[in-house]
Chain A
């Protein structure tokens, strides 16, 4: 069931349509909470280490060892898929299975309370996981390279 890479692009028009709906729909009303005071600020942290420890380790765990319950969070430590920086970056940008996308346009991010990372932040955290936790991929990628990948 895992769908590698992206499955479809949304046209600019479709995106604009979604934004129009959003303008009408405050997200909080549809859900079982009242979160008017929830901060909509983005993550300040810029370094890969700080981004990882503030966000990623919530699921992938502090040593990137992953976890197993009724389902599992994949370990990033020693994960051979990390050989492809594009695979890692696209996963962060667009999400995968239950993992949220971290590069939704601001309005869509607000609608689903997703966190928006800049291309520079994505590049930093991709480099961080590929250089740590027993991963030794030498190459580093830049914000410009991340910008060239398909964003949601």
Chain B
């Protein structure tokens, strides 16, 4: 153990607890997989809806990812499709704010986005894992170019306001030191024959060698100041060329400090299946997908349409809606079937004649509170001063995340950071603030990590999802108990109406949940429609 002598006296119990936190995750994952919590995208390629009955029609409520998945496939299959959308744009939560955009939140406060050309913030989804093949296939179909999104940046920070004097630590160093110390402890236990019950004599040497390799240990199985450790965590003086070439190894942080800082919680940020390399983002902002999708569907989408009533009977489904630009004159849209993708937070307030199981399910899911703040700075100081190119810094401050732009590297102009990405109580508190106050708070907290904030700040945008007029919340917050009680009821057809959206998926909050739930719903819709046959 290097700097911290107490590190070597970590108790067996805390060692085991630590290993449990790492090794236990595999067991945990299996349990989750069995329950469908960590489910892979079931996307199996383009849906095949052959033999649509002549004249059959479908009303799609909502032009977000789920609604537009349903609309494009049903249209292509020959259904008559009409989409009603509350916003004046397509995409729903697939959305980017760019310079010149105006956004009015619930309560009436309006923000004017003053970002420079090509700069943006994604208030909603901002990354697509490589295995979300549904949403990726639509991006491809719609000719939306994608570029890499960096979930993990070894040179970004892990930060605790209560550890290391509040000084942010490089992810690379925390990871190398955590891993190195754990490997050293395991090697020690192995060599003292404490793991004999679990490891055969034959495997003992292999385990030791693997620990040396995994933890960057030296020849004595120590994690200490060494070339091996510095190859992982970085050098005190980097190797170069010529006479000044000789590198100087850096000194690892002691295990005790790493453990008590809590920063180890951030080490696995890219290990979850959903966050593993490769991830992608659309060039120009996530909203490019929704925009292209809207163009593709063209006149099928009726914008500024606020649904106020949904009624079904033996012959079809009628949605009553108002034009948000001229309220007070209700209009009606009717079809044989309805795919309803309106968020449950809003659908729970709309009169709809469905049975008790579905009605109860619609009311059973509160929506997550979340806030994102975009901050434009006069220069890309995180790149110029700190050599951070994309990725995420994690902090225990209420802002939780600082996301660096995964595009436009080395640009000499301005840059936009995701200055806050907030959940839970902190999100409710930020939601309760006026937008400029949220921005001021994001600056106040973020400047503890990047003091350049003080001099480089230009302008910002703050979106609190509970104040978003079209969702009233971020995404459906199922608990294991509410899922067990209501999920199937939510997804089942109720006569002529079926729901779709991330809320009707096990991919909560992911666009892939919207895609796959819509495909599942229209597959069942198609079966029903075919069974009824052509319209007279």
User: A residues engaging B (CB < 8 A)?
Assistant: 1-3, 7, 10, 14, 18, 21-22, 24-26, 28-43, 53-59, 61-62, 67-73, 95, 97-101, 108, 111-115
Q: Which residues of chain A come closer than 8 Å to B37, judged between CB atoms?
A: 25, 29-30
Q: Please indicate the chain A residues that have their CB under 8 angstroms from the CB of B370 in the complex.
A: 33
Chain B, Cβ-Cβ closest to A61: B107
B238-274: CB near A (< 8 Å → 1, else 0) gives 0000000000000000000000000001101100101
Quick check: which of B43-51, B204-212, B426-434 contacts chain A, the rest being far away? B426-434
Contact assessment for B480 and A111 in the assembled complex, using a CB-CB cutoff below 8 Å: yes
Cα–Cα distance between A10 and B286 once the two chains are bound (Å): 41
In the assembled complex, which residues on chain A have CB atoms less than 8 Å from the CB atom of B106? 59, 61, 67-69, 73
Report 23 cross-chain contacts, Cβ distance below 8 Å, ordered by A residue. Answer: A7-B360, A25-B35, A30-B38, A31-B475, A31-B509, A35-B423, A36-B268, A36-B269, A38-B400, A39-B396, A39-B424, A39-B425, A54-B429, A58-B429, A70-B306, A70-B346, A70-B469, A71-B350, A97-B345, A98-B472, A112-B366, A113-B423, A113-B477
Determine if B265 and A18 form an interchain contact, defined as CB atoms under 8 angstroms apart: no
Enumerate chain B residues within 8 angstroms of A67, measured Cβ to Cβ: 106-108, 467
Q: What's the Cα separation between A108 and B482 when bound, in Å?
A: 11
Contacts of A58 in B (CB 8 A): 369, 428-429, 431-432, 464, 466-467
B281 to chain A, nearest CB (A): 14
Which residue from chain A places its CB closest to the CB of B350 in the assembled complex? A71
Q: Chain A residues with Cβ under 8 A from B86's Cβ?
A: 69-70
Contact call A95/B366, Cβ cutoff below 8 A:
yes
Instruction: Kindly identify which residue among A33, A43, A61 contacts B423, using a CB–CB cutoff of 8 Å.
Output: A33
Measured CB to CB, the closest approach of chain A to B452, in angstroms, equals: 22
- Give the residues in chain B near A40, CB-CB below 8 Å: 424
Of all chain B residues, the one with the shortest Cβ separation from A21 is: B480
Complexed CA–CA distance, A35 and B470 (Å): 24
* B125 proximity list for chain A (CB < 8 A): 32
Contacts of A73 in B (CB 8 A): 106, 472
The 8 closest A-B pairs by CB, nearest first: A69-B469, A32-B509, A58-B431, A71-B346, A98-B345, A100-B366, A67-B106, A113-B424
- Whether the Cβ atoms of B428 and A55 lie closer than 8 Å is yes
Shortest Cβ gap from B289 to chain A (Å): 15
The answer to whether the Cβ of B31 comes within 8 Å of any Cβ in the partner chain is: yes
Cα A3 to Cα B348 in complex, Å, equals 11
* Closest chain A residue, CB of each to CB of B345: A98
Q: Tell me the bound Cα distance from A18 to B466 in angstroms.
A: 27
B394 at the interface (CB under 8 A from A): yes
- State A108–B477 Cα separation when bound (angstroms): 12
